[in-house]
Amino acid sequence: MSNDLYRLVYYSRNAIIGDAATLAAAITSILTWSQVNNQRVGITGALMFNSGCFAQVLEGSRSAVEDMFERIQQDDRHGDVSLLAFDPAPTRAFENWSMGFVGASIEDAARYGVLVQASGFDPARMTGEALFATLHGLAIEEEYSNNAV
């Protein structure tokens, strides 16, 4: 059934050329449009930018996820897209996120993204499950701290 819930996890290399401000602006734009479009088609998920890589989880109906992924594939702002998982999922893990940004703030990620490589977080070396777990963990942390405020 194409209405069943599916989850897709990928990472890709940043292809946006420019200084930290340009990169931060581009990420903000990506995020804004994801949120606008995802709400309409019932997609939830999280985006992270780190070490010059985008990592993203998309969840929604199979056809919505496939359409969204196709649009992502056609996007020039990244390359070397590695699809780590695309499977049926029992429930949504990002119920309240039309597309959350997790990890450091966008500005910090854009400014220090390249430096973080040394710290050992490398999405290219992670399985789909591990990447999903990382993003999910960060999302929960974020939700918790937002609620705490």
Partner 1 sequence: MTVASHHQNFVRERQPLQAALTEMATAVLILDEDRQVEYVNASARELFMPVDPIGCTLSALFASCGVDGGDSLFAAVNVNAEPAQMRLRFSDERLLDGTLRQLSSGGFVLSMDDVTTYVHNAELAERDALTGLANRKALRDRLVERLAVAARTGQELAVLFVDLDRFKAINDTRGHLVGDALLRKVAERFKVSLRDGDVVARLGGDEFAIIQSDAPQPTAATALATRLVDLIGRAYAIDGQIMHIGASVGIAIAPKDGDEPDVLLKNADLALYRAKDAGRGCYRFFESGMDEQMQLRRSMEIDLRRALALKQLELVYQPQFDVASKAIIGFEALIRWHHPTHGIVMPGEFIPFAEEIGVISAIGEWVLRTACKQAATWPIPLSIAVNLSPMQFRGGNLAKTVMSALERSKLPAQRLELEITEGALLDYSDDVVNVLKLLRNLGVVVSMDDFGTGYSSIRNLQKNSFDKVKIDKSFIRGINTSVENQAIIRAITSLASTMRMKTLAEGVETEDELSSIRAAGCDQVQGYLTGRPLSAEAALTLIESAFLAQAA
Chain residues in the site for partner 1 (CB under 8 A) = 2, 6, 8, 62, 65-66, 69-70, 73-74, 79, 81, 83, 86, 88
Least distance (Å) from partner 1 to the CB of residue 31?
A: 21
Of 45 and 103, which CB lies nearer to partner 1 in the complex structure?
45
Least distance (Å) from partner 1 to the CB of residue 62?
A: 5
Least distance (Å) from partner 1 to the CB of residue 80?
A: 9
Of 65 and 131, which CB lies nearer to partner 1 in the complex structure?
65
H-state helical runs in the chain: 20-41, 62-73, 106-112, 128-148
Token code pair at residue 72 = 């992502």
Whole-Å CA distances, 71 to 19, 65, 74, 77, 127: 25, 10, 5, 12, 23
SS3 1: coil
